[in-house]
Structure 1
Amino acid sequence: MDNLLDAYAPGVPVLTDGVTALDADQVRARVAQVCAALAARRWPDAPVAILADNGPGWLVADLATQQLGVTLVPLPLFFTPAQWHHVLMESGCTALLCALPEQAAALGFGAQSLLTGPLGLYEAATRAGGAALGATQKITFTSGTTSSPKGVCLDADQQWQLAAALQHGLAGLQLHRHLCLLPFSVLLENIAGPYTALLSGATVICPPLAETGLSGASQFDPQRCLAAIARYQAQSIIVLPQMLQALVAVTADHDPRLASLRFVAVGGARMPPRLLQAARARGIPVFEGYGLSECCSVVALNLPGSERVGSVGRPLPHRPVRIAADGEIEVGGRAGHYLGQAPAAAVGTWLATGDLGHLDADGFLHIDGRKKDVLITGFGRNVSPEWPESALLGSGAFAAVVVVGDAMPYLAALVVPVSAALTPEQLAAAVALANRDLPDYAQVRRWRVVPPWGPATGLSTANGRPRRAAIARHYATDIAALYDNLEHIA
């Protein structure tokens, strides 16, 4: 870490939340404090979880765990308490970094803090089991296509290798101020944002998420975001497609609040080409990329001087990409492995992504679709439709349900009530009941009643499973109506 911070000139802030700014010496001192607290734990070698808003304290904890060789397990703020418990049990965490003692206690960690500062360090009374972690520095749990998220194990070298590739690709822009808009529990921000900025000697600006306009998994205030960009004179940011759409909708061409931006990366979900064109027309220097958690996030990225609209860019130097015979994208290089599974060999392995795509003659990667039915919302959350569908069916009000929402800001559903006598109010109550057990990114916001479908209609299989592609075609107008309140990009 010392060599990392040597890139900073005296007095240049390394981390700031808009209130407190830390230079290189102050970051070193705070990392040393966290290291001392982690080393003094009852089980100093066990994984430690972190549940916290964005801020310098989060990144200090991240650097401290790397310095000690301790595994860090980020807990996304948008997970439900049940999902937090699942992550903690699966990873075998014996300590938690968080700001609130009562929050730590609710998750089973003692009220005595081992650390002073914005985040306390709390320990569990007993040590549960857990898979052997080896060199794992971070376990990132995806948003979960079901209620039980999967953990991807990554070592420090994998993360910094990606950051170095991005730093090299962006060096010509001379970026000095990166504003963090996404939660640090999301790899796309954690690595592509602060890590890349640290390698560049740039200031990492990391105010609380509420100041930058993001709350939960899918609530975004573009006016707050624009105010933060202007206040901090941000030169680079990372956004999700739905965030970009909201920014485009509330800005005029060459809005002065965006004047400081030199590079805006967008990823996490499919990017409508018209949206990118509209953003460019506003003067937003946006570049689309593609990645996976198993690859530490970014795999390919359009860059200034090396871009092709409609593609997700060329693969980064350390991530060779090939297309399988069936059109599936496969990624080379050393990938992360799922918690509980053995690491893949470093050489000669290819990760099957589940995405379909092609490489053009100039090496730009194009995404054509997904092999499976997993939806990726406009905010980058992965959701298997069967999850909210089962919750809706479990309400007892619906005989059949198909959830939609790929690349959209929220999920919606086509529903077949169990009885035509059910009123709209009763259906609304049933949806509300189902949503109570779902995190916000998996909740159904709107729905539309449609006639029953069966094998004779061609819309379901013989055993009653919906034929999703056929239903999407048949009900295209109804599905479009579920999103007719959105801002449309001209």
Structure 2
Amino acid sequence: MLNVLKQLARHAFEQPEKVALEDAACAMAYRQLFRAVAEVGAHIAAERVAVMVGNGVPWAVVDLTIAQCGAVAIPVPPFFSDEQVAHLLTDAAPDLLITDRPDYGVPLSRVLRHQTVVVAHAELHFYTLQPASRRTLPSDTAKITYTSGTTGQPKGVCVTRTAIGEVTEALASAAAARVEDRSLTVLPLSTLLANIGGIYVPIVRGATAVLPALAQCGFTGSSAVDPGMFVSAFHRWLPTATILVPQLLKLAVECAQAGAPLPPSLRFVAVGGAPCSAPLLDRARTLGIPAYEGYGLSEATSVVSMNRPGSERPGSVGMPLPHAGVHVADDGEIVVSGALFAGYLGQYEAPPKTWHTGDIGWLDADGFLYVSGRKKTAFATAFGRNVSPEWVESELIATRAIQQAAVFGEGREFNVAVVVPMPGAQPAHIQAAIDATNARLPDYARVREWLQADAPFGAANGLARSGGALNRAAIAARYALPIETLYERGEQHVQP
């Protein structure tokens, strides 16, 4: 993290007029950014700062300012429910809240001072909060990043300055980031991967971070995307690099096949956040989308491994980056080391030296990592065959008819899927996609019956995590009756 600030100062001196940050309202040069960080810093006299601001230049300025002040940043995910936000603010106990939402209901009993500060083009509200009882943070904590976890209450992952610096440099090298780059962020900046890859990596290389509001990229809420606006954003900003989750890569592929490709300016598209099937990556490459799958988790400061030009292998998530160590336990669980988090907020334990990820996979003879599923989500069918649902799901969403899928079959004679169709896909298209997928799968992993979901799986409705992973328990609970109907009656295409 220290190197990010050091490089910012160097670029402000050596290339002061080069654009550092850009959105629809402004383009901020490196010299302007350096000055803005100093100016906003005069308003931050706090130890912990919660940031509830939408994507844009102001978010980046605030984030860098908090780091420069030596405070701890607490990004608030925009897809969190009001209850989750309230939990986050109570759990992390910030003494300053910065928000672009003047209507946000901060309890007046906690507000000691309120001021409006213009940051870049936006009016931000700075709420100095009444000191609250708080838990001690691990040393060197730079951020508390909240993940939605396996329950309704998110957990605070304490990430260190040292780890952020190591991952930033490793990711910049893997992506061959350069001064000419324009890195477009279409994921919430509150997510650690977008924060590091979308802001820190461009800055350490003296490049331009393009940070439009998510609504300008076609996003509504946490999961709905307008395909036309999404593609148009890429043509407007002409990026050379970006980060996509598999669902957005699939959207880009479908748009390209419909005659609306992403611009040829792209040279590197990192794909992560959830499993991505080899067929989808193949389709992307065929259409000229330079997609490279990687793997990581918040507890490992976002990125562990990545395919990259000159070092890639189909079906893998790449070789571990220099900051990360990876080995596979006897039971198949992936264990990582290097640049790990310092612990969860409120759990007073020594920082871990290794972390059992809960993912299962293997390393090939050349050191490429493969991820086959989650240890806790793998299930055994009634015939004793073990199935990793992520594997089957990634194959299903690689088809043109299926946007999302959740597969179930624990202790059953066959597997079923809850399917979110692509816009315009009819039941016959979905069945054809499932049939084509089944033809590539062993019999025990095939989907015999399916039902159509009534809404996409997203963080807003609790059916997916912030990083895109499915909330299987919630999906199973929501569709329990129609799933059971499929098993009991053997009927296809039961509507919820």
Partner of 1:368: 372
Whether the aligned pair in 1 keeps the contact of 2:142 and 2:160 (CA below 8 Å) is yes
User: For residues 460 and 235 of structure 2, what CA distance do their matches in structure 1 show?
Assistant: 38
User: For residues 28 and 240 of structure 1, what CA distance do their matches in structure 2 show?
Assistant: 31
User: For residues 267 and 140 of structure 2, what CA distance do their matches in structure 1 show?
Assistant: 36
Query: Following TM superposition, by how much is the alpha carbon of 1:174 offset from its aligned partner in structure 2, in angstroms?
Result: 6.3
Matches within 5 A, 1:70-109: 70-103=71-104, 105=106, 109=111
Whether the aligned pair in 2 keeps the contact of 1:51 and 1:96 (CA below 8 Å) is yes
Whether the aligned pair in 2 keeps the contact of 1:253 and 1:281 (CA below 8 Å) is no
The structure-2 alpha-carbon separation of the partners of 1:280 and 1:332, relative to structure 1 and needing over 3 Å to count, comes to same
Alignment partner of 1:354 out of 341, 354, 358: 358
The structure-2 alpha-carbon separation of the partners of 1:407 and 1:191, relative to structure 1 and needing over 3 Å to count, comes to farther
Partner of 1:127: 131
Partner of 1:416: none
The structure-2 alpha-carbon separation of the partners of 1:328 and 1:119, relative to structure 1 and needing over 3 Å to count, comes to farther
Partner of 1:26: 32
Whether the aligned pair in 2 keeps the contact of 1:104 and 1:110 (CA below 8 Å) is no
Whether the aligned pair in 1 keeps the contact of 2:241 and 2:269 (CA below 8 Å) is yes
Partner of 1:333: 338
Partner of 1:15: 21
User: For residues 359 and 272 of structure 2, what CA distance do their matches in structure 1 show?
Assistant: 15
Q: Which amino acid aligns with 1:259?
A: P
Whether the aligned pair in 2 keeps the contact of 1:173 and 1:262 (CA below 8 Å) is no
Consecutive unaligned residues of structure 2, counting only runs of 5 or more, are 379-388, 398-405, 407-414, 424-453, 465-470
Alignment partner of 2:151 out of 138, 146, 159: 146
User: For residues 449 and 342 of structure 1, what CA distance do their matches in structure 2 show?
Assistant: 42
Whether the aligned pair in 2 keeps the contact of 1:335 and 1:344 (CA below 8 Å) is no
User: For residues 451 and 212 of structure 1, what CA distance do their matches in structure 2 show?
Assistant: 35
User: For residues 3 and 364 of structure 1, what CA distance do their matches in structure 2 show?
Assistant: 32
User: For residues 451 and 291 of structure 1, what CA distance do their matches in structure 2 show?
Assistant: 32
Whether the aligned pair in 2 keeps the contact of 1:178 and 1:237 (CA below 8 Å) is yes
Whether the aligned pair in 2 keeps the contact of 1:216 and 1:440 (CA below 8 Å) is no
Whether the aligned pair in 1 keeps the contact of 2:294 and 2:307 (CA below 8 Å) is yes
Most deviating of 331-340 and 297-306: 331-340
Q: CA RMSD in A?
A: 3.5
Partner of 1:69: 70
Partner of 1:188: 193
Q: Is 1:3–2:12 an aligned residue pair?
A: no
Query: Following TM superposition, by how much is the alpha carbon of 1:324 offset from its aligned partner in structure 2, in angstroms?
Result: 0.5
Matches within 5 A, 1:131-280: 131-133=135-137, 134-171=139-176, 176-252=181-257, 257-280=262-285
Query: Following TM superposition, by how much is the alpha carbon of 1:216 offset from its aligned partner in structure 2, in angstroms?
Result: 2.3
Q: Which amino acid aligns with 1:115?
A: V
Query: Following TM superposition, by how much is the alpha carbon of 1:373 offset from its aligned partner in structure 2, in angstroms?
Result: 2.8
Whether the aligned pair in 1 keeps the contact of 2:24 and 2:212 (CA below 8 Å) is yes
Whether the aligned pair in 2 keeps the contact of 1:76 and 1:185 (CA below 8 Å) is yes
Q: For 1:4, what is the secondary structure of its paired residue?
A: helix
Partner of 1:116: 118
User: For residues 69 and 340 of structure 1, what CA distance do their matches in structure 2 show?
Assistant: 21
Whether the aligned pair in 1 keeps the contact of 2:111 and 2:130 (CA below 8 Å) is no
Partner of 1:50: 51
Query: Following TM superposition, by how much is the alpha carbon of 1:187 offset from its aligned partner in structure 2, in angstroms?
Result: 0.9
Q: Which amino acid aligns with 1:52?
A: V
Alignment partner of 1:321 out of 326, 350, 354: 326
Q: For 1:298, what is the secondary structure of its paired residue?
A: coil
Number of residue equivalences: 414
Consecutive unaligned residues of structure 1, counting only runs of 5 or more, are 380-384, 386-401, 411-430, 454-470, 484-490
Whether the aligned pair in 2 keeps the contact of 1:16 and 1:207 (CA below 8 Å) is yes
Q: For 1:197, what is the secondary structure of its paired residue?
A: helix
Partner of 2:293: 288
Partner of 2:446: none
Q: For 1:86, what is the secondary structure of its paired residue?
A: helix
User: For residues 304 and 310 of structure 1, what CA distance do their matches in structure 2 show?
Assistant: 15
- TM superposition score normalised by structure 2: 0.75
User: For residues 459 and 32 of structure 2, what CA distance do their matches in structure 1 show?
Assistant: 44
Q: Deviations over 1:238-276 (max 9, x none)?
A: 011111111111213995542110000110001121111
Q: For 1:22, what is the secondary structure of its paired residue?
A: strand
The structure-2 alpha-carbon separation of the partners of 1:84 and 1:152, relative to structure 1 and needing over 3 Å to count, comes to same
Q: Which amino acid aligns with 1:34?
A: V
Identity of aligned residues (%): 37
Query: Following TM superposition, by how much is the alpha carbon of 1:436 offset from its aligned partner in structure 2, in angstroms?
Result: 13
Q: Deviations over 1:10-38 (max 9, x none)?
A: 32100011321111111112111221101
Q: Which amino acid aligns with 2:124?
A: G
Whether the aligned pair in 1 keeps the contact of 2:167 and 2:339 (CA below 8 Å) is no
